[in-house]
Each structure stands twice: as structure tokens, then as C-alpha cells.
Chain A
Amino acid sequence: MDASSFVFPNDPHVPWSIMIVLYPYITGLVAGAFVVSALYHVFHQEVLKPVARLALVTALCFCAFATLPLLLHLHHPERAFNIMITPSATSAMSGFGIIYNAYMLLLIVEVWLVFRPDIVALAKTTDGRLGMVYRLLSLGDREITKESRAVDEWLIRALAIAGIPAACVLHGYVGFLFGAVKANPWWSTALMPVIFLASAVVSGIAALIALYLFFCWRRKVSPDADCVRAMSRYLWVSLTVAVSLEMLELIHMAYESGAEWHAISTLLTERLAISYGVVQVLIGSVCPFLLLLLAVRPRLNPRWLTALSGIASVLILVQVFAMRWNVVVGGQMLSKSFRGFVEYPLHIGGREGLIAAAVILVLPFVALIFASRLLPLWESDETHALGSNPLQTADTRNSPTTDTLISVTNQQRTMLNEENSADPDSVDYGAVVRNEHV
């Protein structure tokens, strides 16, 4: 490790590598995606319906890989269990075990409840190993009634409500970990959890816009312009809040001009000039701010809306990564002496290298594509098909109306629902089965 100027002998290197940059980045995406799903489930933002399921599954897929960077960073990954089995009430880091497990459980249960009608329908209509998977996922109960859906929907809403503070705690605590390091003036601020949370929401919405546009492109369907516009509005507002908080913190430090400011200003203007000044502020904040301002104009052509929102979202994803990098690595480059800087050599290979980081970042997307093949992520009239009515007998299930994965028109569905409504327990709840795979 190269060091410059005056660095304490016990402070010559950067212990928290790119893996610790990835960890808040991924958990941020989880929290942000969940907030979008909560806007639909809790606050009934119907305009977000096209991405509601995607948001929830995205949160689950990213959450499933959130701990991977930490495990790679630990030289003894098996020690990760120690933090779980012997938690300490006075350690913020050990709070992770409880917060992460609780949040993961909440996400799994909510996803399961949301997709249960589809899982049940697919369990009845799919054969082979895949059918076995669906039957396992249905947990042995393949009966859906109006009452059971009512209970499920009540629970989904309750979980979404509980999930909002849980998502805030999950990501807020990551910011808390950094904010509580009092020896590091670049981290030590009570605003840090709020800044992390705001940027988490930003990254989650940006990721959803990018993913939604990507999946629409793969499915060769037009994105829902109202949905993209609404998400772009949310993105613009949350970006403004997040960047304002980050800048407020910086301006506050500069105005105070404490003993540490000369070191922090050198850090930002020299050591992090590219990743902070150019990538985070200019390319990642100012450009998307302006692009989104153009994108959210009500009469904008949908093509332009898609293009502008898509570009802005990708830039914002880069911005949030740069922000995590500048906080995590930048904070460690600043020597505790405030009189010197250390370098962080980012290796290509190795357990904590660039390739490993890229693989970790790709894995949630692979999981998402896998999930999109397993579960119907899209709710649209064109792709609805009648799932088998869970209460129907095997004979009736073979009828054309409940044949697997057939598309029907709204008129047909209305007629079928009218027929079914004769039996109050056998109402078809529009078990939505996707007839196309991404």
C-alpha cells in the first residue's frame, strides 16, 4: 500500500474493500424496491401496479445476495454465524443478524402471499419437476377462496406496512454503522443513516425503472407510460432529497471548517476528484436531475419518456454506487491523523477483486430472470389467463376455460366469472398465469 504524508503506523491500509461498498449498495436497492411495492400495496398508488410485483421480487432477489459480499470479505465466512448466535445488545453490527433475518422472512412471506394464487394455479397445471416446485411452494394447500384471498390481502397490506419501517431500519442501520465511527469525520454524522436511506430509495426506484424497461424490451411490449412517468416523478423527488442531504452535510462541514476540513477538502478535490466530483455529482446527480425534469413533462412522447427515464435511471444507479464508494473507501483513505492519505489498490482478481464484485452484482439479476420464469411478474390484460379454479374438480379443470396458460379477452373472462359466481366459494380470482416467458 502506498501512503502519502503523515499516516499513523496502525493506519496504513484500507481494510473495508469494494465488498463493503457493494453491501450497502445492494441493501439500498432492496429497501428502495420495497418502498415502491409499498406505495402500491399500502398507499394504493394504482399507477404503480405494473411494477408492484417486480418491485417485491426484485427486493427479494437482491436481499438474497446482500450478505454475499460480507461473506467474501470475512476471512472466515463461517464466523458469520457467530454474530447470529451470540448477538450483543450493545453492538450495532450484531443487530444486522436480527434485522436482516426479520426482513428476509417478511419479504419471503409477502412474496409468497402475493403470488399464492399463481402458485396454486401453476401447481395444478404444471407437470414434471417444475410442477413439483410449484406444489412444494403451495405448501400443500391448493385451495383458494374469496375469504382466504381477503385474509391474504389483509396480511399483504399489514406486511407491507411493517415492511416500510423494517426496510428503513435495514438500510438506516448500515448508515448508522458508518455514522457512529466517531474517529472518522467523513462518516461521523447523525445524518448518515438518513443520507443512506434517501439514496437507497433513489437507487431502488432507479433500478426498478431500468428493470421494467429492460423486461418490457425483452417481452417486446410497450412500457406503461403513466407508470414510468410516475416512477420518474418519485425518482426526481427522492433524488432531490438525497442529493440535498448529501450536499447539506458537505456544506455544513465546509462552513464549520473544523480541524478535519482541510483533510476532507483535499480528499474530495484530489483523491476522489473523479469518483466524487465528476461521477457522483456531475454525471450521477446533475445530469439525471435535468433529464428527469424533462422526462416528467405530462405531454412528452412516450418514446422520449422511456429514453430519458432509462438513461437517468442508469446514471443514478452509477451515482449511488459512486456515493457508496466515496463514503466507504474515501472515508478509509483519510488517515486518522488528518494529515495523510492512503491508497486503495483495487485488484482485478481475488476474493475481494473487481471480478468477484461484478459477479456478485450480476447474481441478483440472474435470480430475477430465474424468478421471472418461475412466477408471473406482470399483470396485464393481454397476458392474463384463467388459472384453474382451485375448487374445481379434475374434470372441469380440463375444460377449455381452464386449460393451461391460455389468453382470454376481458369479455371472455367476465362471462366465465359470471358462470363461476353461482358458487360463492368458486369465484375465479383471476389467478394470473403468464403465457410468455421473459
Chain B
Amino acid sequence: MNWKLIFSRNTRHLRILVFLIVTGSGGAFFVRSQMVPADYGQTGPYRHAALVEIAAQPSVLQSDSTCLKCHTNVEEERSESPHAAVRCLHCHGNGKEHIADAEKAAEFPEHMISPAGEWDGDFRTHTDLFITHDRATCLSCHTSVVGMPDAFLSINVAEHLDEQGAEEINSKNVCFECHEGHSPGL
């Protein structure tokens, strides 16, 4: 190619094209400079202020220590049980409203703490605190599947109920006929 052509009238269209691309790119960089927050990238690929904002948000999931402040008996019940490793919210939901209720009751003793409802088997409809006696909760961990470590107590539910001579084998609460949730005696 004849390089002199680059500055001749034969390449006017290309100069217009380059002008448009450069102008467009410059515009894009200007828009970017306006859009990117000033504190972006100070401590990583995020707004530094986001750390403070997130820390200020009220927590939704509760730690066990929050629950055990009031339910001291539960800590004792499960202290010797394998279920000591299971977090409260795994079986009872996150209990955000319940804790807000409890905090209000601590301030105003006349405030009634609403009781937890029975779990209906669906996490999507029952997202806050619940009491569950549904065997689905137990079997979510204890159903025997290929590859489960031997040390983990897992069962084939039909065989197990047959061995134990359970009568109401289709009952949702059948596990609780023999086992107690906090200290299942495993």
C-alpha cells in the first residue's frame, strides 16, 4: 500500500471514520469518568463506602448466640448431641421478626411475643421463625445416599420405620415419636 495515500483526499472517508471513533471513545471515557464513584477501587474493585453501608444494614440471619440468649435450655439440651453442630436457623428459619419482638418485649414487658407457627414444609412461604416437626427437615440431612460418609447417620426411611415398628409411617411427625430435635439420642 502507498502510505502517502493516508494523507491524500482519497482517504478522507477514513479520516472522518477515525474522527467519529475517537470522538465516540472520548465521549465514552468522559461518561465513564462521570459515572465511576470517586472512592471506587480504593480498597478493591468496589466502592469503599459500600463497606460502611453494608455494615450498617440490620442483620437478617441470626447467629445461635442471639437465640441462646433467651433459650438457655436448648444450649444445655444439645450440648452432648451431634446436633450441637447444627445451627438454629437450619430447622427454625431466621427468626428476624421473632427477635425484633423479643427485643421489644425486653423493653416493654407488656409486649407479647407472637408464637412461632408450625412449618408447612415450604421455605418459600414460611421464611421467618417456625417450629418444625416435619420429617422432611430431618431427612434433608439423614436420607441415605450413595457416597455419604459412614460416620454420618443416614437411613432409608421406609426400612428404618419398619425396623423400629412405627405405626403411623406416613405421619409427617413420625421422627419425633422417638427422637427429640435438640437431643435426638443418636
Residues on A facing B (Cβ under 8 Å): 5-6, 9, 81, 84-86, 88, 91, 105, 109, 112, 116, 138-141, 143, 145, 147-148, 150-152, 154-155, 262, 338-340
- A81-B35, A88-B45, A147-B5 in contact; A155/B14 too (CB < 8 A)? yes
A241 to B97, CA, bound (A): 59
Q: Is the CB of B16 within 8 A of A140?
A: yes
Size bin of chain B's contact surface: 20 to 34
Of the A-B pairs whose beta carbons lie under 8 Å apart in the complex, a sample of 16, sorted by A's number, is A6-B148, A81-B35, A85-B31, A85-B35, A86-B41, A91-B45, A139-B17, A141-B12, A141-B13, A143-B12, A150-B1, A150-B5, A151-B6, A151-B11, A338-B147, A339-B146
Q: Is the CB of B1 within 8 A of A148?
A: no
B119 to chain A, nearest CB (A): 15
A141 to B10, CA, bound (A): 10
Q: Which residues of B contact A9 (CB under 8 A)?
A: 140
A18 to chain B, nearest CB (A): 22
Q: Is the CB of A148 within 8 A of B13?
A: yes
Q: Which residues of B contact A91 (CB under 8 A)?
A: 45
Q: Which residues of B contact A85 (CB under 8 A)?
A: 31-32, 35-36
Q: Is the CB of A5 within 8 A of B32?
A: no
A sample of 8 more A-B contacts (CB under 8 A), given A86-B36, A151-B11, is A85-B35, A85-B36, A109-B21, A112-B17, A147-B10, A151-B6, A262-B146, A339-B145
Q: Is the CB of A145 within 8 A of B16?
A: no
CB of B143 closer than 8 Å to a CB of A: yes
A101 to B148, CA, bound (A): 48
The one of B12, B31, B35, B146 that contacts A5, using a Cβ cutoff of 8 Å: B146
Number of interchain pairs (Cβ within 8 Å): 63
Q: Is the CB of A116 within 8 A of B146?
A: no
Q: Which residues of A contact B146 (CB under 8 A)?
A: 5, 262, 339
A81 to B148, CA, bound (A): 44
Q: Which residues of A contact B145 (CB under 8 A)?
A: 5-6, 339-340
Q: Is the CB of B13 within 8 A of A147?
A: no
A152 to B140, CA, bound (A): 66
Q: Which residues of B contact A6 (CB under 8 A)?
A: 143, 145, 147-148
A118 to B33, CA, bound (A): 39
The one of A105, A145, A339 that contacts B147, using a Cβ cutoff of 8 Å: A339
A209 to B40, CA, bound (A): 48
CB of B100 closer than 8 Å to a CB of A: no
Closest to A139 in B: B16
A353 to B16, CA, bound (A): 43
Closest to A105 in B: B21
A131 to B8, CA, bound (A): 27
Closest to B37 in A: A86
A139 to B13, CA, bound (A): 7
The one of B11, B17, B45 that contacts A109, using a Cβ cutoff of 8 Å: B17
A143 to B146, CA, bound (A): 74
A105 to B28, CA, bound (A): 14
CB of B20 closer than 8 Å to a CB of A: yes
The one of B8, B40, B140 that contacts A147, using a Cβ cutoff of 8 Å: B8
B121 to chain A, nearest CB (A): 14
Q: Which of B1-50 contact A (CB under 8 A)?
A: 1-2, 5-6, 8-14, 16-17, 20-21, 31-32, 35-36, 40-41, 45
Q: Which residues of A contact B16 (CB under 8 A)?
A: 139-141
Closest to A154 in B: B1
Q: Which residues of A contact B17 (CB under 8 A)?
A: 109, 112, 139
A143 to B11, CA, bound (A): 10
Q: Which residues of A contact B31 (CB under 8 A)?
A: 85
A138 to B11, CA, bound (A): 13
Q: Which residues of A contact B36 (CB under 8 A)?
A: 85-86
A339 to chain B, nearest CB (A): 5
Produce 1/0 per residue, B137-171, CB < 8 A to A: 00010010111100000000000000000000000
A25 to chain B, nearest CB (A): 28
Q: Which residues of A contact B21 (CB under 8 A)?
A: 105, 109
Q: Which residues of A contact B5 (CB under 8 A)?
A: 147, 150-151
Q: Which residues of B contact A116 (CB under 8 A)?
A: 13
A138 to B12, CA, bound (A): 11
Q: Which residues of B contact A141 (CB under 8 A)?
A: 12-13, 16
Closest to B32 in A: A85
Closest to B1 in A: A154
Closest to A90 in B: B45
Q: Is the CB of B10 within 8 A of A151?
A: yes
Closest to B15 in A: A141
A138 to B20, CA, bound (A): 13
A5 to B139, CA, bound (A): 11
A16 to chain B, nearest CB (A): 21
Closest to A157 in B: B1
Residue of B8, B13, B32, B143 with most chain A CB atoms under a 10 A cut-off: B13
B115 to chain A, nearest CB (A): 26
B26 to chain A, nearest CB (A): 14
Q: Which residues of A contact B148 (CB under 8 A)?
A: 6, 339
A278 to chain B, nearest CB (A): 26
Q: Which residues of B contact A151 (CB under 8 A)?
A: 1, 5-6, 10-11, 14
